[in-house]
Structure 1
Amino acid sequence: MKKIISIPGAPAPIGPYSQAVLKGDTLFVSGQIPLNPVSGELETGSIEEATHRIMKNISALVETAGLRMEDIIKTSIFLKDMSDFATVNTVYASYFTKDFPARETVQVAKLPLDVPVEISCIAIK
């Protein structure tokens, strides 16, 4: 049986998907964009701000599912501009202490709501 996971108090997703799905011990987190779960506003003032918001959203979903950031085993990062790679990488790294997840980072032509970055992940208890 699968369990739908969402950030408490967050607005509904912008499409027909769940923020995250827990199946057994595995959590699948949908691509997160820099959407503030309280205000519903995008936080895209800078690439740092956007990345921090995404990582905070991921952390909230992981914790709501009863897991920890250390349980994340795989992430996917989608960038609108690969020149933001180093900055996103620095912010991303600050959310992990060691044994980083496997990951790929790709540049894409466009992201939902024209955001500069989107990140998804898989975590296992």
Structure 2
Amino acid sequence: MNRTLVSEAAPAAIGPYSTAIDTQQSSQTVYVSGQLPIDPLTGEFAGQDIKLQTQQSLQNLQAILKEADMDLSNVVKTTVLLADIADFSDMNEVYGHFFSQPYPARSAFQVAALPKNARVEIEAIAVK
């Protein structure tokens, strides 16, 4: 049976989806929904700068993984959605401070728009 993961240190889902699902199989797999750069204390974006938004999205991801007794070292795949691919370099700089080798597999691409006009959204798959 799957278990929904919710963290008070990360914003709640803003639609009909779970923040994360723990498959609770023999090897635990957690699928974390795309994390917007919302500060859970204020309900607002951490800032308009892509670096601040990337940092907040990854902090939200960390908070959700903690609920499954995991951390970023458990992440095997991420998907980074950018409102503007020109932000890739700055996003990548911040992203590199959160992950270490072996880095997770990653896809990153520009989308037409993100919820609440965010500049970045990051989702992940983690395995324990």
2:98 is equivalent to residue 87 of structure 1: no
The alignment's TM-score, normalised by the length of structure 2, stands at 0.93
Alignment of 1:62-73 (within 5 A): 62-73=65-76
Indicate the residue corresponding to 2:104 in structure 1. Answer: 101
Shift of 1:9: 5.7
**Structure 1 unaligned spans of 5+:** none
**Structure 2 unaligned spans of 5+:** none
2:16 is equivalent to residue 13 of structure 1: no
CA distance in 1, matches of 2:46, 2:23: 30
SS of residue matched to 1:92: helix
Indicate the residue corresponding to 2:43 in structure 1. Answer: 40
Seen in structure 2, the aligned counterparts of structure 1 residues 8 and 115 have a Cα distance that, compared at 3 Å, is same
The alignment's TM-score, normalised by the length of structure 1, stands at 0.95
Shift of 1:10: 4.8
Q: How many equivalent pairs are there?
A: 125
What per-residue deviation string (whole Å, max 9, x for no partner) do you get for residues 55-101 of structure 1? 00001111111112111000000001111001000101100121000
CA distance in 2, matches of 1:9, 1:16: 20
CA distance in 1, matches of 2:92, 2:11: 28
Task: Report the residue type matching 2:38 in the other structure.
Answer: L
CA distance in 2, matches of 1:93, 1:19: 23
Indicate the residue corresponding to 1:23 in structure 2. Answer: 23
List structure 1 segments (4+ residues) > 2 angstroms apart after TM superposition. 9-12
